[in-house]
Amino acid sequence: MSLNPPSGKAASCHPLRRRGTLRALNSLDRRPVTTSNPPARDRTGTYVSASREVSPLSIRDGARNPGMPLELDWVRELRVNLSAVERRTGTLGTRRTVKKEWQAAWLLKAITLMDLTTLAGDDTEARVRRLCAKARQPVRRDLLQALGMPDGVVKVGAVCVYHQMVPAAVAALEGSGIPVAAVSTGFPHGLSPMDQRIAEIKASVAAGAHEIDIVVTRGHVLRGDWQALYDEVRAFREACGDAHIKTILATGELAMLRNVAKASLVCMMAGADFVKTSTGKESVNATLPVGLTMARTVRAYAERTGYAVGFKPAGGIRLAKEALLWLILMKEELGIGWMQPELFRFGASSLLGDIERQLEHHVTGRYSAQHRHPIA
């Protein structure tokens, strides 16, 4: 495939725009993790957002969440005002916009926060190797050069595959610094016997997976059996060992946002490193109201315990403009400190192609065909 723009001309970008894009991307580099005010409530029980900086000393920088004893009183007191959540998320894309070199920088940032994923029934080792090659070089070199990006700066946050494909992914990504994530515990339904789910986690870790995406039992949440959910996630955490655990809640099947908030909190108490919205296989996957609910629960946990837990929306995020909305949500609710691969990820398979297409438009002023940006 040709790496030239559709017009046949070399990709070019004004020098000031190149410097502006690099400067904008640098502004999104790691900063001390900050959170907003402890969520106040109005008379309806709505969480009211009020931004302020929290001392970085209140967050254990880089420390892994060890979990805590289950506090049922804290879980039971959680409330979510649906209409207020919908009003808040409805304004995310209307109150501010990200344009020009800032948009390019935010899109490059989104790539570094992406779990490049293939979870299809027809996955093969060859397809996984192609996906890993794309993970190493997610954007064409001519576009990166036009944007003033040095080699090696832009790469995805992780590659996510089924357990059977872990060895192929580990071999293909050797030396890249890109971790391999494996879905586990009877993905996507999570209804396998407990001993089989534990064995699957241990097998993926032994095969070289750095991160394990586990599926919680939705029945525990729907019945309000928080002790059972806590014990389940705690057992999965112990089986993961040094590998980080991402707990998939399948929020589209949890009936209400209150259940989403409570399940997120219980998983964090059990030692989850990430809370994740969906498997991508449900009819309803990552939505902004769910994201806001989970982000504020993450914020409340950080303020109470001092441990920052990651958040991963997954499923249904296909367009660059949708990725920008999620980044705005994270910046406004949790701060730039959370916009790092250690604390925020996109679960996506087709998003990268649209982001690369938007970056080409930024550089050349023209949109290219989607087939010019294959993923694997």
pLDDT in tens, 275-288: 999 998 888 899 99
The whole-angstrom separation of Cα 114 and Cα 221 is: 28
Token pair, residue 351, equals: 């998003």
CA dihedral 339, 343, 347, 353 (to 10 degrees): 30
Is 276 assigned a catalytic role? yes
Averaged pLDDT, 244-263: 96
Residue pLDDT, tens place only, 47-67: 433 343 333 334 666 789 999
- Which listed residue (134, 155, 246, 312) is catalytic? 312
Is the pLDDT assigned to residue 44 strictly greater than 60? Answer: no
Residue extents of the structural domains in the chain: 15-26+71-372
What's the pLDDT score for residue 18? 58
Instruction: Enumerate the β-bridge partners of residue 47.
Output: 41
Residue pLDDT, tens place only, 193-218: 999 999 999 999 999 999 999 999 99
Contact 367, 373 (CB under 8 A): no
Quote the longest CA-to-CA distance of the chain: 64
The whole-angstrom separation of Cα 154 and Cα 171 is: 20
- Hunting for tokens 């994923």 — which residue is that? 117
* pTM of the complete model: 0.86
Calculate ∠ Cα 355-123-340, nearest 5°.
40
Contact 139, 105 (CB under 8 A): no
Q: Is 258 helix (H, G, I), strand (E, B) or coil?
A: helix
User: Phi, psi (5° rounding) for residue 183?
Assistant: -80, 145
The bridge status of strand 310-312 relative to strand 274-276 is: parallel
Q: Which CATH entry fits the domain spanning 15-26+71-372: 3.60.150.10, 1.20.140.10, 3.20.20.70, 3.40.50.2000? A: 3.20.20.70
The bridge status of strand 244-248 relative to strand 211-215 is: parallel
Q: How confident is the model at residue 268 (pLDDT cuts 50, 70, 90)?
A: very high
Token pair, residue 296, equals: 């504020």
Is 312 assigned a catalytic role? yes
- Hunting for tokens 């402890």 — which residue is that? 38
- Which listed residue (115, 134, 155, 213) is catalytic? 213
- Which listed residue (155, 246, 262, 276) is catalytic? 276
